Amino acid sequence: MEHLLSILIFFPAFAAAIAFVVDKEAIRIYGITVTAIEFLLSCFLWASFDSNVAGMQFSEYIPLISQYGIAYSLGIDGISLFLIIMTTFMTMISLIGLSEKRDLKNLIITVLFLEMTMVGVFLALDAIVFYVFWELSLVPMLYIIGAWGGKLRIYASIKFFLYTFTGSLVMLVGMLYLAYIYNQATGVWSFNILDWNALMLPYDMQMMLFVAFFLGFAIKVPMVPFHTWLPYAHGQAPTIGSVILAAVLLKMGTYGFIRFSLPLFPDASVAMMIPMAILAIIAIIYTAMVAYAQEDMKQVIAYSSVSHMGVIILGIFAINVEGIGGSIFLMISHGIVSGALFMLVGVIYDRRHTKMMSEFGGLASVMPKYATIFGIMLMASVGLPLTIGFVGEFLSLLGFFAVSPILTGVAGTTIILGAVYMLVLYKKSFFGPITNPINEKLKDLNGRELTALIPLVMLVVYLGLFPNTILKPVDTSVKQLVQVMYLKSTLPQTKAKIASVNTIGEIK
């Protein structure tokens, strides 16, 4: 219990180091076993978590560079709890469903190292430790895309790295300057995020720092116009790379907005509500139309991811409990659904070595299990009520409705547009006559694929019916976040705005 968070971070890396001496024939079972243990550890963390406590729990603190206030500081609250669980769960599922045969041992070792970095990002409370894990996560994903990707894998991997690394450097400058400001105000150095939360910064300084952090987070999300790396990364990455990228890595950007931008720069965050919403709405509509124009199934889902991430940004910058809580739920929802959809595309690619919709048609008659699960995930993706996709989108839009009913109405077209491009994909691929004789002999889902996909289907239905499983612990921490923003704001209009958009009594 005392060092549970450290165990969660470093157990996958320790297991990855041991994996170098594991026999190639046993490496798949070894990898699945390691990720299953990691998932069980995260479930134990959840079972031990007190949902009524808003602050950090299971905290760990070890000084590293005392003179500059850099420390190995970890903690978890309701905001990060389920992101950790989703990370460990989706990593396990991705290895269960793994069909890659090329250099399998090195791929599994790379995935285990990647899991360490992702968990570290969500648990770090020291900005430098956060930044180290943030940057380290680029290396395994760069390797996964570059070594196991498609024909343009080198271009895609370098573009992914350069975009995200450049934005992160600007964010690092912002972190260093924020630590300097803390030193000027208190006489001591600290990179602890909780210490920084006590700073009352003037508006101009908040805006400058907001932009610095924005570049790092917006590129990772990715927000328009920084999104162009994502379709290449998804298109060229192997299936497991696309699953982890969509399910977890993109959420690191939205998590950064919640953990850093909102509490540290409340006045700037409120001032940027409408500009951020406009960028999010552009992403929602523009990438949805681009998704409709695609012929490649994987590209449809890739652009769909950008569109859904726009809804998450909208919920975050509603700056109320409904919106932020809904955006966190939507992060979980999108991680599960998009991960499943990329896995399903990988299934058909393994059989036909093509992802073009024109190559298919009538798949429902020869692969009924595959068509059923694909249909369920498709409905969750477009936000069908009683599925996991509906809850997060509804709450995110409901939260921003308190800010601007007009912009919310425009953003709500995501449900219509999403239904259009996803149903077109389903119609072209699964209905109608079988025009290609090769498709008549396609095998339906096997036991390994069903083992990976059925738990995702169960979660889509269960969390659609019982969302409070996640929402209750999340809301406790989100309410405290909104209170911190209200108390830290230096402008009367900021306090008034935060109070006005929180309609259920959190700020009164």
Could you read off the pLDDT of 49-62 as tens digits, one per residue? 999 888 899 999 99
What value does the mean pLDDT take over residues 88-99?
94
Read off the pLDDT of residues 286-328 as tens digits, 9 standing for 90 and up.
999 999 999 999 999 999 999 999 999 999 999 999 999 999 9
> Which band of pLDDT confidence, cut at 50, 70 and 90, is reported for residue 99?
confident
| pLDDT given at position 502 | 86
Give kind and range of the element (H or E) at residue 366.
helix 363-366
Using alpha carbons only, how large is the chain's radius of gyration in Å?
A: 22
Q: Where is pLDDT greater, at 355 or 435?
A: 355
Q: How many other β-carbons are positioned within 10 Å of the β-carbon of residue 32?
A: 17
| pLDDT given at position 301 | 93
Cβ neighbors of 50 (< 8 A, separation 6 or more) are: 57
Read off the pLDDT of residues 383-441 as tens digits, 9 standing for 90 and up.
999 999 999 999 999 999 999 999 999 998 888 888 999 999 999 999 988 888 888 88
Q: Using CA of residue 350, residue 352, residue 358, residue 362, what is the dihedral sign?
A: negative
- Closest by CA position to 411, among listed 297, 314, 309: 314
* Continuous H helices in 99-249: 104-123, 127-136, 138-148, 153-186, 193-196, 203-220, 229-236, 239-244
**Region of residue 155 (phi > 0: left; psi between -120 and 50: alpha; otherwise: beta):** alpha
Rounded distance between C-alpha atoms, residue 267 and residue 213, angstroms: 15
Rounded distance between C-alpha atoms, residue 264 and residue 290, angstroms: 35
210 φ, ψ (degrees, to nearest 5): -60, -45
Site of tokens 């991811």: 305
| pLDDT given at position 370 | 95
Q: Using CA of residue 447, residue 453, residue 455, residue 458, what is the dihedral sign?
A: negative
Terminal-residue alpha carbon distance, the chain: 38
Joined tokens for residue 455 = 């738990």
Of 68-72, 100-104, 379-383, the poorest mean pLDDT is in 100-104
Q: How many other β-carbons are positioned within 10 Å of the β-carbon of residue 167?
A: 22
Read off the pLDDT of residues 226-262 as tens digits, 9 standing for 90 and up.
988 988 898 899 999 999 999 999 999 999 999 999 9
Rounded distance between C-alpha atoms, residue 32 and residue 126, angstroms: 31
What value does the mean pLDDT take over residues 468-473?
92
Read off the pLDDT of residues 190-214 as tens digits, 9 standing for 90 and up.
999 999 998 889 999 999 999 999 9
Give kind and range of the element (H or E) at residue 70.
strand 70-76
Read off the pLDDT of residues 104-151 as tens digits, 9 standing for 90 and up.
999 999 999 999 999 999 999 999 999 999 999 999 999 999 999 888
Rounded distance between C-alpha atoms, residue 90 and residue 340, angstroms: 9
* 444 touches 366 (CB < 8 A): yes
Average pLDDT, the chain: 92
Percentage of the chain lying above the pLDDT 90 cut: 83
DSSP 8-state code for residue 223: P
| Coil, helix or strand at residue 71 | strand
| pLDDT given at position 298 | 92
* 249 touches 477 (CB < 8 A): no
| pLDDT given at position 1 | 65
Give the type of residue at 396: S
pLDDT at 506 over 80: no
Q: How far apart, in Å, are the Cα atoms of 18 and each of 12, 21, 34, 100, 350?
A: 10, 6, 11, 21, 30
- Closest by CA position to 460, among listed 336, 372, 368: 336
| pLDDT given at position 278 | 95
pLDDT at 505 over 70: no
Rounded distance between C-alpha atoms, residue 218 and residue 225, angstroms: 9
pLDDT at 507 over 70: no
| Coil, helix or strand at residue 445 | coil
Give kind and range of the element (H or E) at residue 28.
helix 27-48
Cβ neighbors of 167 (< 8 A, separation 6 or more) are: 215, 216, 217, 218, 219, 220, 226
Out of 78-92, 350-364, 400-414, 418-432, give the one with best mean pLDDT. 78-92
Cβ neighbors of 26 (< 8 A, separation 6 or more) are: none
